[in-house]
Chain A
Amino acid sequence: MIRYMITQNVLHRPLRTLITAIAVAVEVTMVIMVVGLTTGLLQDYAKRTEGIGADVMVQPPSSSLFMNFGGAPMPISIADKLRRLDYVQAVSPVLISLNSVAALENIFGIDPASFREVSGGFVFYAGRDLQDPNDILVDDIYAKGKNVKVGQTLHILAHDFRVVGIVEHGKSARLFVLLSTLQEMAGAHDKASIFLIKADRSNHSAAVAEEAKQLLPGYEVRQPKDLMALMTSSNVPYLGTFINVMISIAVVVGFLVTFLSMYTTVIERTREIGVLKSLGASKSYIVRIILSETTLLCLVGSAVGIALSFALRAIIHDLHPSLPIQITYGWTVRAGLIAIAGGLLGSCYPAWIASRKDPVEALAYE
């Protein structure tokens, strides 16, 4: 009976229902997109780094998980020392530069031969490998997003590059130039930001990492396969706080909208509450009606919000293919629960007001 009653109440005031549900939907979408975007970027980054194919990465001391925040580059001569370690099959020095024009993108300066040894080489969709100082490779996602074709000129880091090939994505960066070119441009002669190491067998990765640590005390030695686990919001400074702040704002918005909506409802339905009281409805019965109605509105809003998130992700994916948004089952459920909790919190006071209404005054309400 209560279910029927609240359904009818919700349908009886379509505009109010629509506005409340949309507000909850926006709240849910905001939570899902903020988390999806941050998680998506982190996981995409980890996946792409792992996709290089290296078993061990060596970075300068106190380097971030993010390669482009690696600090001062290291002497390239370290590569020779690393090559002499047991179980090491190949070492490839990479200089990383950050292109901040239009978007934040890593540019890898690579030595094609050693990079091929470590990574197994690129899969070419079009064009050829790097040969000349002004050559640049772009991955397919970059090419699709920016509509780049082989032969085109790209103006990056105040330098004109010629696109010589389009490669399959998944080798960490989306743009690759010759190591020597990037060293020249960055004024970092004989320097590298990172050394990618390939072990002779994958089960020797840990041993190689251990050797590298002993060889280069204080340097950051990581195994890319561990990055997926490390790439969480709690491992990135302030990201967890940022997410929590965004979620809090969403909850506050949901709380206020639900509060206003249910408060207005209670005022509008004063006489109906009086009727329920005259029939012998207890305070808890009336509270149950208000909270059930809120829950229904939040459920509808959450469903719309989840659908909206998927739709937005599809649109963003079309417009910006390189921007990954990871929508997980866990976070859709969590966003829904957050919305319901915020909504219920917002309707507590209106429900309390409704339950305490004087029946005689309520029945006389016009």
Chain B
Amino acid sequence: MANATRIFPSTEVLTLARGRALEPILKTEDLWKVYHSGKVEVPALRGVNMEVYPGEFVSIMGPSGCGKSTMLHVIGGLAQATRGRVLLDGNDLTTMTDAARTLLRRHKVGFVFQKFNLLPTLDAYHNIALAQHIHGNGFDPHRFEVVAKLLGISERLTHKPSELSGGEQQRVALARAIVSEPKIVLADEPTGNLDTKSSDAVLGLLRELNKDLGQTIVMITHNPDAAAYGNRVLHMRDGQVVDGPAVH
């Protein structure tokens, strides 16, 4: 805890939290992630403390190599923390087995990546349906339709990723991330590969998802304009969150 910086949620969310005894959907406590390069230890996260409440859209900014992506991987259960705690919807990821974290990702986390990461062999429809299939609750056509309409991709569902523009691909990736109604969406530089127009469209959609559906979102970016779409911005440097709340 010595080097840790506690980051508090936005004033609106705090007010909501007090009023309704709201618990954070995501909480990290003295979170460390250390990589080993030969005999050298390389700490990527150095005691991160933060809380994200349901319905928040949190942007995390910072220079390259400051640990943003590592943090996203750890809080999303893709990587195991070296020490500290990550509580996601009440589940402590740091004590979970790999299989348990996989299950948690399946039911509670939606990822959006900079490079879209759509499966090239599947069309947009099946890329999205794949998430529902892995989720295991069967195909929900109503939810699928709502999401496709919301993201404006209903007309592009039969196209493969190679036939879609970057902006369209990212919208499909976004649809894939939210179609199974995850508790939290973790977006890693979602506009990093997009032009300004497509970036604005994707960020606008993220904000809509947050406002209209109450989707909790944590987005990593190094673009201040993109970060401004969130209702709270955190800054990271050298594996730590270095500032307090910034309410928009």
Contacts and interface: CB of A to CB of B under 8 A. Distances in A.
9 contacts: A4-B122, A271-B117, A277-B102, A278-B111, A279-B176, A281-B106, A285-B134, A360-B78, A363-B78
> Could you tell me the dominant secondary structure of chain A's interface residues?
helix
A360 B102 contact: no
Interface string B146-181: 000000000000000000000000000000100000
A360 B119 contact: no
Contact of A279 (B99, B122, B126, B134): B134
Given A2-B133, A280-B103, A358-B79, 12 more contacts: A1-B126, A1-B129, A9-B121, A272-B120, A275-B117, A276-B134, A280-B104, A280-B135, A282-B103, A283-B102, A363-B113, A363-B117
A359 B105 CA distance: 12
A4 to B, nearest CB: 6
A358 to B, nearest CB: 8
B107 A280 contact: yes
Nearest to A358: B79
Interface residues of A, number: 25
Nearest to A2: B133
B6 to A, nearest CB: 26
B181 to A, nearest CB: 13
B140 to A, nearest CB: 13
Contacts of A285: 134
A279 B178 CA distance: 11
Contacts of A278: 76, 78, 105, 111, 113, 117
A281 B120 contact: no
Contacts of A4: 122, 126
Which 10 residue pairs spanning A and B have beta carbons closest together? A280-B106, A1-B133, A8-B121, A12-B121, A280-B105, A359-B78, A275-B117, A278-B111, A279-B134, A360-B73
Interface string B120-141: 1110001001110111000000
A8 B103 CA distance: 26
Contact of A280 (B79, B113, B120, B134): B134
A306 to B, nearest CB: 28
A282 B133 CA distance: 12
Given A5-B121, A360-B73, A279 B113 contact: no
B106 A279 contact: yes
A4 B50 CA distance: 42
For B99, B109, B122, B176, which residue has the most chain A Cβ atoms within 10 angstroms? B122
Contacts of A358: 79
Interface of B: 73, 76, 78-79, 99, 102-107, 109, 111, 113, 117-122, 126, 129-131, 133-135, 176
A93 B78 CA distance: 85
A275 B111 CA distance: 9
A358 B78 CA distance: 8
B78 A1 contact: no
Interface in A1-57: 1-2, 4-5, 8-9, 11-12
Contacts of B118: 275
A285 B131 CA distance: 13
Nearest to A1: B133
A1 B103 CA distance: 19
Interface string A93-119: 000000000000000000000000000
A225 B36 CA distance: 77
Contacts of A1: 126, 129-130, 133
B150 to A, nearest CB: 20
A5 B130 contact: yes
Contacts of B121: 5, 8-9, 11-12
Interface string A265-303: 000000110111111111101000000000000000000
Contacts of B102: 277, 280-283
B92 to A, nearest CB: 18
A5 B78 CA distance: 23
Contacts of B107: 280
Contact of B99 (A5, A8, A282, A360): A282
B134 A5 contact: no
